[in-house]
Amino acid sequence: MLPRLIYKSLTNSIAYFLPTLFGLLLLMVPVSAQKRAIEMTVASTEARAALVAGRELAENQHHDKAQKYFTKVITKDPACAIAYLYLAQSVAPASTAYVNNLKQAITLMGKASEGERALIEVEKAQAEGHVTKTKELLQKLVRQYPTDKRVFLAVSGHYLRLLDYTEAEAALTAGMALDPDFPPFSLWLGHIAATKGQFPIATQALQTYQKLLPDEPNSFLATGHLYLKRGFYTEAIKSFTTALDLDPQFYQAYGALGMAYLANDQLTEARNQAEKLLGLAPNTTWRRQAYYALIGTYLEESKLHEALASLAKSRELAEKDKDSWEIAQDMNLVGDIHLSQGKVNEATAQYQSALKVMETADAFIGMKNQARLTYLTHATEVGLATNDLAAARRHITEYRKLASLQQTPGLNQELHRLLGLVALVEKKYEAAAQEFAKSSQQDPRTFHLLGNIHLAQGDQAQAKLNWMAAAQLNDPTHSYLLLRRKAKQ
């Protein structure tokens, strides 16, 4: 199973992945220790059929439909641990539903098969923030099941969450050598290639996915995202529309279509898509997504009052569900909006409240650590906004210490961004540029800040190029939308 999302080469050559971790592991496995495929532990033929159907839907990002099948499995077989794991992986990440279903999978894992227990242990280790342990468990899983394609799919999913594209790509390529016609491999290889800016490779991968599943709306969604990333807005709109024509209940396509309209400066159409999703949304998750899509259109027009009003409605839904992670997410966005307007005290209050919500939540320690890291990021930005460099440095020191326990690419990139911000405030432009070069190159803030450096150095032309790059990344995050209009101007 892969995380809710969100695409190297499609070569099937063993030579490609042998130098990676997974290739070396396969060479080291005694044949006697290898197992063919993970055994499914389920009480009845009917429950097994529902489990398989739900798994296939989830593999192609139909998470809402998959949830219904996994719930059916649990109704027929309440002791089916793997169904709870799959259900956890198909709901909103870090949500209360995720926590509750994963805990139930852990409780029942004694009744699961060896391979199923291993998958649950991996998810548990990742939820607890034990990155080294997670990688060790993944290595063991590959050694035990080197011919199970879904093991490689699961492994790639965990590495994608860690933003470790090298190992995720290696796992997908290894899996593709086992079964080149398994659609999810092409989908996710395309995602990785697109993320790296390798657009011809991404196009080839997604074309393969579409050939394998010609009537699958997710293939048009993925292709649309590729067009959007390349700035081909008309083509993106067409692809997203085709996805909805194939399945009007493929809800993620409404948000994607709205983002394409927004990128193309068609705000009325973007807002219409958000309103349409709000009317069709079958559950709280999608209603909140609709409000966030609306918020994006308001941020684009600097209509902050309307953005905050939509956020309040989103917050009401999260509070009704007693979903601590979502409540904290809303608080942090309110803080970001206040900070963008120079309202430091209001922003600080929101950031502190968000942290407190997560500190007292019934959540895995990894989620709480992530909340702490998010707070430290915001506290650093507040320190810089108030010219309190000593406070900013203290927060960065704490961030570095906590992030060092995990050593994931994403956390390391964010640390460099924070260090670059300090150097920029100190007018140490070369040092700042070096730090931003090590931060995420998929984050529009990186290019916006590089533009600011060039402007400070008197290079207005280069500044404009970087600002334009920031504006054209079309990142669906609200940190992007808060700076998009500024970058365009």
**Is the pLDDT higher at 40 or at 489?**
40
Q: Is the pLDDT of residue 7 over 50?
A: no
Burial class (CB within 10 angstroms; exposed 0-12, middle 13-18, buried 19+) of 83: buried
Mean pLDDT (whole number) for 145-167: 92
Mean pLDDT (whole number) for 376-405: 96
Mean pLDDT (whole number) for 465-482: 79
**Is the pLDDT higher at 476 or at 294?**
294
From the list 481, 489, 488, the residue with the least C-alpha distance to 336 is 481
Identify the pLDDT of residue 390.
97
Q: How confident is the model at residue 6 (pLDDT cuts 50, 70, 90)?
A: very low
Helix, strand, coil percentages, rounded to 5, for the chain: 75, 0, 25
Q: Which two tokens stand for residue 24?
A: 């070396």
Mean pLDDT (whole number) for 191-196: 91
Mean pLDDT (whole number) for 145-168: 92
Q: How confident is the model at residue 94 (pLDDT cuts 50, 70, 90)?
A: confident
Identify the pLDDT of residue 329.
95
Asked which of 2-6, 32-36, 96-100 is least confident by mean pLDDT, the reply is 2-6
| Segment 376-390, tens digit of pLDDT | 999 999 999 999 999
| Segment 22-63, tens digit of pLDDT | 443 443 444 444 568 999 999 999 999 999 999 999 999 999
Asked which of 30-44, 345-359, 362-376, 431-445 is least confident by mean pLDDT, the reply is 30-44
CA distance 222 to 228: 10
Identify the pLDDT of residue 238.
97
CA distances, 66 to each of 57, 139, 209, 216, 290 (Å): 5, 28, 20, 15, 21
**Which residues, including other chains, have CB under 8 Å from residue 343's CB and lie 6 or more apart?**
none
CA distance 73 to 67: 10
Q: Which two tokens stand for residue 69?
A: 């099948």
pTM of the model: 0.86
Identify the pLDDT of residue 489.
59
**Which residues, including other chains, have CB under 8 Å from residue 281's CB and lie 6 or more apart?**
251, 287, 289, 290
| Segment 207-266, tens digit of pLDDT | 999 999 999 999 999 999 999 988 899 999 999 999 999 999 999 999 999 999 999 999
Q: Greatest CA span in the chain, whole angstroms?
A: 71
CA distance 321 to 402: 30
Beta carbons of 184 and 29 less than 8 angstroms apart: no
Beta carbons of 147 and 37 less than 8 angstroms apart: yes
Q: How confident is the model at residue 486 (pLDDT cuts 50, 70, 90)?
A: low
Mean pLDDT (whole number) for 365-372: 94
Identify the pLDDT of residue 11.
28
- pLDDT above 90 covers a percentage of the chain that reads 80
Q: Is the pLDDT of residue 13 over 60?
A: no
Mean pLDDT (whole number) for 116-130: 95
Identify the pLDDT of residue 23.
42
∠ CA 340-342-345, rounded to 5°: 110
**For 322-406, CATH number?**
1.25.40.10
Beta carbons of 230 and 199 less than 8 angstroms apart: yes
Beta carbons of 194 and 473 less than 8 angstroms apart: no
Identify the pLDDT of residue 86.
97
Average pLDDT, the chain: 89
